[in-house]
Amino acid sequence: MLANPLAQVLAVSLLLVAFAAPATAQVKEGDTLCFSCDQCSSVGITTPTATGRYCRKSVTLGETSRAAVSSCTPIPKMVYCCNTALCNAGPARPAAGVAMVMASTFAAMVTALYL
C-alpha cells in the first residue's frame, strides 16, 4: 500500500484508465478516443466513448453533448473541438492546454471513484 494519499489516488486513476474504461472500437491511426453522450453535464468511467478524427463538446441552452466527429468547427462558447484522447471531458473552454485536459480527466476519474 502506498503511504502518500496522492500517490494512492494516482495509482487508482492509472488502473481505472488501463482497465475500467468502457469497451470501444479499435482506434484507427489518426483517430481520437472521445466521450460520446447527449445531455451529459459530466463524464466518468461509465460514459460511452467513440472514435473519430476530432472530439466535440457542444453546449446549447445549458445542455452539454459530447461526440467523436470527422470534422469540427469551433463556435465560441458553444462548440469546442480537440483531438487528444478524451479531451472533451472537462469544462467547456476553447483551446484547453494539455495540462488542463489531463487535470480535467483526472478530476472526472477521481470524482467517479469516490461517488
The predicted model gives 23-47 an average pLDDT of: 80
pLDDT in tens, 57-102: 999 988 999 999 999 999 998 999 999 999 999 765 444 444 455 5
CA pair distance 46, 91, nearest whole angstrom: 18
Residue 11: per-residue pLDDT: 45
Please write down the HEC assignment for all residues of the chain.
CCCCHHHHHHHHHHHHHHHHCCCCCCCCCCCEEEECECCCCCCCCCCCEEEECEEEEEEECCEEEEEEECCCCCECCCEEEECCCCCCCCCCCCCCCHHHHHHHHHHHHHHHHHC
Residue 10: per-residue pLDDT: 42
- Residue 49 has which C-alpha cell? 466513448
pLDDT > 50? residue 2:
no
The predicted model gives 25-50 an average pLDDT of: 85
- At 41, the pLDDT band (50, 70, 90 cuts) reads confident
Residue 87: per-residue pLDDT: 94
Residue 62: per-residue pLDDT: 87
